[in-house]
Amino acid sequence: MNTLIAGLKEDSRNIISDALRKRNHYFVVEKPGKLALEHLDQKNFPLIILSDYSEEAVTFCRQVRAREHGRKYTIYAVISTEEVEYIYTLLNADIDEYIIRPHSDDKVIDVALEFAEKLARNKEGQFLIEQKLRESEARAHSILNTTVDAIITIDERGSIRSFNKAAEKLFQYSSSDVFGKNVNILMPQPYRREHDGYMENYHTTGKRKIIGIGREVTGRRKDGTTFPMYLAVSEVNVNDQRLYTGIIRDITEQRRLEQEVLRISEHERHRIGQDLHDGLGQMLTGISLINNNIAASLRDEEHPLADDVKEITTLVKEADEYARDLSRNLIPVELDSSGLTAAISRMTSNAERLFNIECTLHNLMNIHFDDPTSLTHLYRIVQEATSNAVKHGNASKVKISMASDETKLVLKIEDNGTGFSKSWDQNKGLGVRIMKFRSRLIGANLEIEKSSMGGAAIIVTLLTVGSPFRILES
């Protein structure tokens, strides 16, 4: 072990030097002061032994402790039995331990040095561990504060334990504003009041809704505005305490771009639907009228082809009706002044006729969106859910209902079919992905649950706060 002996008393220094030499120490003897401090800079000396209680030795001890890593050194002082009254002076200088040296008792000093070595090794090891821990914390802190994603840590009660710079920018709260508060302050209603119930249910049942999975949710800023975000949550146990870390990414711009892509797509559908209605539909109507006149003339002349021409007229009328049905499906809401309720009613009537099912409508409401394409997205979700119930769930009954309160509007499509398999969430079909995609574009949350009718229930939730829609009076 490397040891530095500092002091002015030569006889004590000699006794300590002899004892250290027997214990195979590398040691340096220096007067307390600048040169002794320089030795500490040049070489690692875990153990420092003060050979006396002189003012210079006491000052040197305080200077060592004042250094950046001054606590890592083990400092012993050696005094004789006649000098014990100066122990308090040395203790006030922050020595670790002292050796009271009886005259000519080398064994006492040897045993004391053995303990000093163990203490020095322990302190040095502890210092290295603490240094690595500090470096690790500094790296983690640096990553947390430089990453572009918001990172929030909460405990098992939902209290916020850390809140990085990106989270401060995203939610408009400072870290001190939210530390120790419930994370539900970052959520709009009704999720705010439901969050603690979700955590309690997870702690009780172990059933995960978002931990280790990740999903798109809605966040709430300090000023009350809401925004779409992707949230991934992980769980870790630290000292028998559960901690949850959420990594959050604002997806507002992504949603805007997706809306623009779909808006262009819906515009093209609208154009094709209008061409079918105004172009092909009108042409087929004209052909049907002309053909009907020809059939009447041939019938008056008792021409043998009169019945064939009449059949052609019937086929043209069916083609005209089919083209108009296609047109209505392509532009179901905009062409109808009655809006969503009429479009859904017409869709369910067609479904009953085509699929031989029973459709029930309950408490449908007309909704106005700032963006007209959002209404089409909502209609498409109902259309896809109804189609899936018949094609994949073999349903014979479908129920479409709406309910609203001060915080949300809920649209539910239920059926009595076979429902979804237990692994549906890992193997989502195209229809489910499209419905979820459309729901995200209008700021809604779409969930799939077991229906009270025995099949599947598609539940679309639109939050009142921050949502660009309003319910129209009947």
Q: What's the N-to-C CA distance of the chain in angstroms?
A: 90
* 216-267 pLDDT tens trace: 888 999 998 888 899 988 888 877 788 899 999 998 888 788 777 777 776 7
pLDDT at 72 > cutoff 80: yes
pLDDT at 382: 92
pLDDT at 104 > cutoff 80: no
Q: State the helix-helix crossing angle for 281-300 and 306-330, rounded to 10 degrees.
A: 160
CA 459 → CA 347, 358, 473, distances in Å? 19, 20, 23
pLDDT at 447 > cutoff 80: yes
* 305-342 pLDDT tens trace: 888 888 888 888 888 877 777 776 666 654 455 678 88
Both structure tokens of 443 = 């700021």
What is the average per-residue pLDDT within 129-139? Answer: 82
Greater confidence, 320 or 43?
43
Greater confidence, 387 or 191?
387
Residue length of the chain: 474
pLDDT at 179: 93
CB-count exposure of residue 396 (10 Å: 0-12, 13-18, 19+): middle
Greater confidence, 373 or 130?
130
Report the predicted TM-score, pTM, of the whole model to 2 decimal places: 0.51
pLDDT at 422: 65
pLDDT at 334: 47
Look-up of token digits 């949550």 = 233
Averaged pLDDT score across all residues of the chain: 84
pLDDT at 432: 85
